[in-house]
Structure 1
Amino acid sequence: MAQVLEFKLPDLGEGLTEAEIVRWLVEVGDVVTVDQPVVEVETAKAMVEVPCPYGGVVTARFGEEGTELPVGAPLLTVAVGEPSEGGPAGGGQGEPGAAAGGTRAQGEGSRPEGPRAEGSRSDGARADGSSVEDSRAEGSGNVLVGYGTSEAPARRRRVRPARPVPAAPAQPAGSGPASGRSAARREPVDGPVPVISPLVRRLARQNGLDLRSMTGSGPDGLIMRADVEKALRAASAQGVRTAQAAQGAPVRERPAPAAQTTAQAAAAGTAQGVSAGVTRIPLKGIRGAVADKLSRSRSEIPDATCWVDADATELMRTRAAMNAAGGPKISVLALLARICTAALARFPELNSSVDTETREIVRYPEVHLGFAAQTDRGLVVPVVRDAHRRDAESLTAEFARLTEAARAGTLTPAELTGGTFTLNNYGVFGVDGSTPIINHPEAAMLGVGRIVPKPWVHEGELAVRQVVQLSLTFDHRVCDGGTAGGFLRYVADCVEQPAVLLRTL
């Protein structure tokens, strides 16, 4: 007899207590193998795929896309073990049908089920006129119905009543590529909705937009982010006209932001005296975690900032000479990181944190260097482990790897935690200076502005040099201005004369 095992949301990293379901990778009735990813979730640290430790047939799922689940909550149930007569073995290949023994999900009890679908046909249709959902969502995800703790059996969840398909206008034979096809193949039916990314699907879900009513502008009808934003702008404009008509006011067109709420929300907001263009974005996931950390940093850390302009001409010449010698290219960020680790060796007070419970300053022997990376999902700070033991070439490779993972949303919680000092290269945004907020619980952050040609007095004469502004924001509890100024001055000296680094190499 088959045994139904419950797979719960596992602990995904230090301090993480919940995760949001972004996309299901399996459906009820699918056969899964041990350690096969079954769901993609977003935590406060990263977006990860969760593997299932059991092999068998999925009998129930708990939670729809967009649902937040606490660690330890049920994710799905899997039937494993010997099959019943005529059914496949748990974890086997081929069409699973209902799980062996046909077990209902938690809350309904267990009782044997009959065959998977009486009268089912190989073309995916049933004799009673209903349609069978695709066995697996496409890579871009699928719009799924909700699953609770009292779900129906697997065979019932995989079968929906077919949508009525309106009759298509008659076309002359051979008049187009659609000739000879049924109307059902020309009209959207239940199944995967082609969306370019889970982020686009999430934007539509948060604003109450039905993706099935849209036609994408991408290849083969792929729904792009621009399509969703255009639909939201149209919905917002329609909501404004509806609200103004209800109040007897003349209808006037007004520009709308890129992402707006639905027409119903806009009309309700106007009726309550709130601007129709208001958008509410939940602070959760990575953006919520960043908001919490920055708020805590600002409220707990008595920070101060000092800055200095430095002539980076020699640093840029040194980098050009390194890259001209052959081998992997060295990035400016890697050279600045190497300078940071040398400066922290001289001023270890800044490679620390404050334990408020014990009222102690904790200094770290290793430098785990974080660097700010802007992504479509918000600001993240990947961490380069043991940066003080790496040379410029190794630092360049690690920065590139972590940046690519950040943009793809595949950073692990371990790669986003444990930093002891942060390097913030805000110069990539075209700005000269900034006073950043310290990445709690660290004690300092070095900011680097853009490197641009400016008039500079060099060897007693006015010349055009490559100038950069450096800023250091530090926790005043771990050191005074003298230590912070000494650190920043040493960094500036290394930028102006890279040969200074030879003393510590």
Structure 2
Amino acid sequence: MALFTFRLPDIGEGIAEAEIVGWHVKVGDRVEEDQPIADMMTDKATVEMETPVAGVVVRLAGEPGEQIAIGSMLVEIETEGEAEAPSEVAEAAEVPAPVAAEPAPVVVEEQPPAPAATPAVKEEEVVKVEVLASPAVRARAKELGIDLSQVKPNGDHIRHSDLDAFLLYGSGQGYRPAGRTARRADEAVKVIGMRRRIAENMAASKRNIPHFSYVEEIDVTALEEMREQLNAHRGDKPKLTMLPLLIVAICRALPEFPMLNARYDDEAGVVTRYGAVHLGMATQTDAGLMVPVIRDAQDRNVWQLAAEIRRLADAARTGKAKSEELSGSTLTLTSLGPLGGVATTPVINRPEVAIIGPNRIIERPVFRGREVVPAKLMNLSISCDHRVVDGWDAASFVQAVRKLLETPVLLFAD
């Protein structure tokens, strides 16, 4: 028998350490060659580690949430074969015996005390009470299953308002007072993996970047009509949402505002303005917010953008996004879709200097000359790094995007 030490390899990206997100094995498990053993996180990418040998796991490096340095022991496996070199054998001799994992604490949900038993009432003790109520009130009470003899009237007879009060505050016929819902047990959730990365990145962004936000209302009535016409004749192309059209407008406006398509290295004091638009797409996943990147968005048409948005979103949500697809963005677009709200103030994806957030489209009446007509309106938000972007530049950029969206033919004009 021999002891094989599997050390965390250099996963790339110039990282010095990675976080244990989860183990696929435990001490004592038999593993085969190339079997997945652990998920490790670097920046925003999760990488699956596979064992290069077969054998029995005798030691794991740590618990989920712990950081492991590149080159340090990740797992030790007892393999079949001759003993290893003396130095490695000596190292193996110092391996402590596996420690059994402590059982997870059991969360016991607090139960409300059992209600006191209601004393039995003898049949001869029941006194029938005359109830005064209109036929409509009686019909409603019957429909709701309310015993009118249990309802206390606010006057000489029972009204609909008395039924409402009984439903809210009464305790008969299975009704509970308003606000008394099933109580959940308290739970402590360890912040690890993707959620910890998001927390660290958002805290660093708000701590280091003086944000300011600007919101403008845009009439997208004509744009929505054009989108419907494009979808009606799309053939086998992917269905268009608002996002591909918005990206085209952003890419057309950016050459006049290069200070927005940039990254700021505040330690070196250098702002890099990019010619190509590598657009980050904030995407909600079960693990948290991820930002896959559309490379060279300025060179893609609306159909290509729609297909790439779908592909990257699916890859992020299924955990199949590659490391290079989750880094290198120069500007980020974040959208909550139908939950977009009236206005948002998104947090900048550091070290970028701007982030754009379209909001929900709402149909409202507007004036067209002397007439009032329905229009589809959308607020467009932008947050910028005030150290390198002036308010005038941010507002002027949004106005340029607004002109393109309100006159959609300009999106396709040379």
TM-score grouping bracket, smaller chain normalisation: 0.7 to 0.9
Question: Separation in 1 of the partners of 2:274 and 2:102?
Answer: 42
2:390 paired with 1:389: no
Partner of 2:341: 431
Could you say if the C-alpha distance between residues 360 and 44 of structure 1 is closer, same or farther in structure 2, counting changes exceeding 3 Å? closer
- Percent sequence identity is 32
Shift in Å, 1:449: 0.5
Could you say if the C-alpha distance between residues 353 and 31 of structure 1 is closer, same or farther in structure 2, counting changes exceeding 3 Å? closer
Match of 1:70, SS state, is strand
Match of 1:442, SS state, is coil
Question: Separation in 2 of the partners of 1:456 and 1:372?
Answer: 32
Partner of 2:264: 354
Maintained 8 Å contact 2:23/2:37: no
Could you say if the C-alpha distance between residues 99 and 445 of structure 1 is closer, same or farther in structure 2, counting changes exceeding 3 Å? same
* Mapping of residues 68-467 of structure 1, within 5 Å: 68-72=66-70, 73-77=72-76, 99-101=80-82, 149-151=95-97, 208-209=104-105, 232=107, 235-237=108-110, 260-261=186-187, 280-325=188-233, 326-328=235-237, 329-458=239-368, 460-467=370-377
Match of 1:455, SS state, is strand
Question: Separation in 2 of the partners of 1:387 and 1:460?
Answer: 41
Maintained 8 Å contact 1:23/1:41: no
* Aligned amino acid, residue 57 of structure 1: G
Maintained 8 Å contact 2:261/2:330: yes
Which of structures 1 and 2 has the bigger CA Rg? 2
Maintained 8 Å contact 1:372/1:381: yes
Shift in Å, 1:443: 0.7
2:58 paired with 1:60: yes
Shift in Å, 1:454: 1.0
Of 289-298 and 24-33, deviating more is 24-33
1:332-374 residue CA offsets vs partner (Å, 9 max, x unmatched): 2121112111121221110012222232322112211112212
Partner of 1:495: 405
Could you say if the C-alpha distance between residues 28 and 236 of structure 1 is closer, same or farther in structure 2, counting changes exceeding 3 Å? closer
Shift in Å, 1:55: 3.8
Could you say if the C-alpha distance between residues 67 and 379 of structure 1 is closer, same or farther in structure 2, counting changes exceeding 3 Å? closer
Could you say if the C-alpha distance between residues 41 and 353 of structure 1 is closer, same or farther in structure 2, counting changes exceeding 3 Å? closer
Question: Separation in 2 of the partners of 1:18 and 1:433?
Answer: 37
Partner of 1:480: 390
Question: Separation in 1 of the partners of 2:343 and 2:223?
Answer: 19
Could you say if the C-alpha distance between residues 499 and 282 of structure 1 is closer, same or farther in structure 2, counting changes exceeding 3 Å? same
Maintained 8 Å contact 1:344/1:350: yes
Question: Separation in 2 of the partners of 1:456 and 1:16?
Answer: 57
2:45 paired with 1:46: yes
Maintained 8 Å contact 2:361/2:377: yes
Maintained 8 Å contact 1:44/1:288: no
Shift in Å, 1:21: 4.0
* Aligned amino acid, residue 236 of structure 2: G
Of 310-319 and 40-49, deviating more is 40-49
Q: Provide the alpha-carbon RMSD of the alignment.
A: 3.4
2:33 paired with 1:32: yes
Shift in Å, 1:473: 1.1
1:21-52 residue CA offsets vs partner (Å, 9 max, x unmatched): 4131586433314xx53323344413331234
1:39-76 residue CA offsets vs partner (Å, 9 max, x unmatched): 23344413331234x34435534146525241333122
Could you say if the C-alpha distance between residues 357 and 39 of structure 1 is closer, same or farther in structure 2, counting changes exceeding 3 Å? closer
What stretches of structure 2 of length at least 5 have no aligned partner? Answer: 114-179
**Structure with the bigger percentage of strand:** 2
Partner of 1:18: 18
1:65-97 residue CA offsets vs partner (Å, 9 max, x unmatched): 525241333122456xxxxxxxxxxxxxxxxxx
Could you say if the C-alpha distance between residues 305 and 416 of structure 1 is closer, same or farther in structure 2, counting changes exceeding 3 Å? same
Q: TM-score, normalised by structure 2?
A: 0.72
* Aligned amino acid, residue 62 of structure 1: L
Match of 2:75, SS state, is strand
1:260-298 residue CA offsets vs partner (Å, 9 max, x unmatched): 23xxxxxxxxxxxxxxxxxx4333322222222222222
Q: TM-score, normalised by structure 1?
A: 0.60
Could you say if the C-alpha distance between residues 21 and 356 of structure 1 is closer, same or farther in structure 2, counting changes exceeding 3 Å? closer
Question: Separation in 2 of the partners of 1:466 and 1:498?
Answer: 14
Question: Separation in 2 of the partners of 1:414 and 1:256?
Answer: 45
Match of 1:283, SS state, is coil
Match of 2:195, SS state, is helix
1:484-504 residue CA offsets vs partner (Å, 9 max, x unmatched): 11110111112211112234x
Could you say if the C-alpha distance between residues 76 and 318 of structure 1 is closer, same or farther in structure 2, counting changes exceeding 3 Å? same
* Aligned amino acid, residue 265 of structure 2: D
Shift in Å, 1:420: 0.8
